[in-house]
Amino acid sequence: MGRWQPGASGRLGQAAMELYFERGYDQTTVAEIAQRAGVTSRTFFRYFVDKREVLFAGTDAVRERLVATLDTVPPDTTPLGTVRAALDAVVALIGDDHDHSRRRQQIITTHAELRERELAKLAAWSRALADGLRQRGVDEPAASLAAEVGVAVFRVAFEQWTTGPGDRSLVEVMHDSFGRIPTA
Amino acid sequence: MGRWQPGASGRLGQAAMELYFERGYDQTTVAEIAQRAGVTSRTFFRYFVDKREVLFAGTDAVRERLVATLDTVPPDTTPLGTVRAALDAVVALIGDDHDHSRRRQQIITTHAELRERELAKLAAWSRALADGLRQRGVDEPAASLAAEVGVAVFRVAFEQWTTGPGDRSLVEVMHDSFGRIPTA
């Protein structure tokens, strides 16, 4: 999730990514991450439950940003337009560090437990967006369809961006995908 | 996944569903499932890795059906139309046992490990569909967008159907959702 925050948590995140990339995720221990970051394992566990969660730091903040952004969208915006505005805010939060995102996705893609965690994260975004749309008065199934389709578009765009050369910004790739949503 | 097959595997599936519903998923052991089905635990493990997998019996068959159906769709069909045809075949395979599907979803929804497994299943469908579309000559990101959006529509329709009164068939609910895909 974008650049690491300053402080111990950010140093741990940075150290974990370096080690996962150098040695592999399976071969890296919490003790090694803590050592590289210059803190104790005890400090590691103050910030993260396990080495998996380091890769998902900031997930709650992103979901909160999604929901908070919904309130700023003009009420006459379509459900999908509202979802797109919320995802724009998330993309701004993730930032445009292509190399960081590419490395992170490579680690996630090659580990089933990380892929499952990533899917759970995106499903939580979708649920939060559908809840937010219903609170804006959008009926079902329109709320869930806009949320699920919007997150599906994000997922495709994010994969395209991280596996591509990084010559375009993530927001550009995502807007392009939003313009290509297929209908029956 | 629809009605249980005849034989020990089907009896185990039936027994597991009954016990999960009567006692709760967490409170049910493999030994109890085997006993209710009139077989040994050893027989259980001949068919399933663990009690979680009983709920996902037939998942591979469904994915194979998805891929096999792609070959029967006329080549001039749109990518999303092709995905819809494949999902129609899956819905026919799942069947229209509303009560069974509703109970199964209730169990899955209330357990994080089952929700993750369900998400992984749907992600595998989406990957298989995108692969199949690329083999039909569909470019990226059109192939992934059609696959992801199609599976998103299925997911919304399936949830709507299982949480609803069951007065409409799943295929009807799904076609309705395909007709409501939002675009920017």
What whole-number distance in Å separates Cα of residue B124 and Cα of residue B126? 5
The alpha carbon of residue B142 is apart from the nearest alpha carbon of chain A, in Å, by 7
Phi, psi of A77, deg, nearest 5: -70, 145
Q: What angle do CA B81, A134, A148 make, to 5 degrees?
A: 30
Lowest mean pLDDT among A135-149, B18-32, B87-101, B112-126: B87-101
How far apart CA A175 and CA A80 sit, in angstroms, is 12
> Above 60 in pLDDT, residue B3?
no
Is residue B1 very low, low, confident or very high in pLDDT (cuts 50, 70, 90)?
A: very low
* pLDDT, mean over chain B: 91
**Of residues A80, A145, A160, nearest to B153 (C-beta):** A145
Q: Is residue B80 within 8 Å of A183, Cβ to Cβ?
A: yes
In A, minimum Cα distance to B181 occurs at: A183
Q: pLDDT (tens digit, 9 = 90+) per residue, B19-51?
A: 999 999 999 999 999 999 999 999 999 999 999
How many whole angstroms from its chain centre is CA B151? 11
Question: What amino acid is encoded at B33 in this protein?
Answer: I
Residues B84, A53: Cα–Cα separation, whole Å: 36
Average pLDDT over residues A136-141: 95
Task: Name residues whose C-beta falls within 8 Å of residue B95's C-beta, 6 or more positions apart in sequence.
Answer: B2, B3
Asked if B148 lies within 8 A of A155 by C-beta distance, the reply is yes
Domains belonging to chain A, first-starting first, are 8-53 (1.10.10.60), 58-178 (1.10.357.10)
Residues of A whose CB is below 8 A from B157 = 141
Does residue B75 have a cis bond before it (omega within 30 degrees)?
Answer: no
| Backbone torsion region of residue B58, taken as left when φ is above 0, otherwise alpha when ψ lies between -120 and 50, otherwise beta | left
For residues B61 and B83, what is the distance between their CA atoms, to the nearest angstrom? 17
What b/e sequence results for B5-38 when a residue is b if at least 16 CB atoms lie within 10 Å of its CB, and e otherwise? eeebbebbbbbbbebbeeeebeebebebbbebbe
Contacting residues of A for B151, CB less than 8 Å apart: 152
Query: Rounded to the nearest 5 degrees, what angle is found at the Cα of B171, between the Cα atoms of B168 and B173?
Result: 55
* A153 min Cα distance to partner chain B (Å): 7
Question: Average pLDDT of A20-41?
Answer: 94
- Determine, for residues A180 and B145 on separate chains, whether the beta-carbon distance falls below 8 Å: yes
Q: Are A31 and A41 in contact (CB under 8 A)?
A: yes
**C-beta of residue B12 within 8 angstroms of C-beta of residue B42:** no
- B127 touching chain A per CB within 8 A: no
Handedness of CA B39, B40, B42, B48 (dihedral sign): positive
A108 and chain B: CB distance < 8 Å anywhere? no
Residue B145 pLDDT class (50, 70, 90 cuts): very high
Q: Determine which helix (DSSP H) or strand (DSSP E) holds B41, and give its type and residue range.
A: helix B41-47
Looking at residue B4, its pLDDT comes to 59
Q: Is the pLDDT score of A73 beyond 60? A: yes
- A116 contact residues in B (CB cutoff 8 A): 116-117, 119-120
pLDDT at A159 over 70: yes
**8 Å CB contact of A181 and B177:** no
B142 touching A, CB under 8 A?
yes
**Nearest CA of chain A to the CA of B85: how many Å?**
11
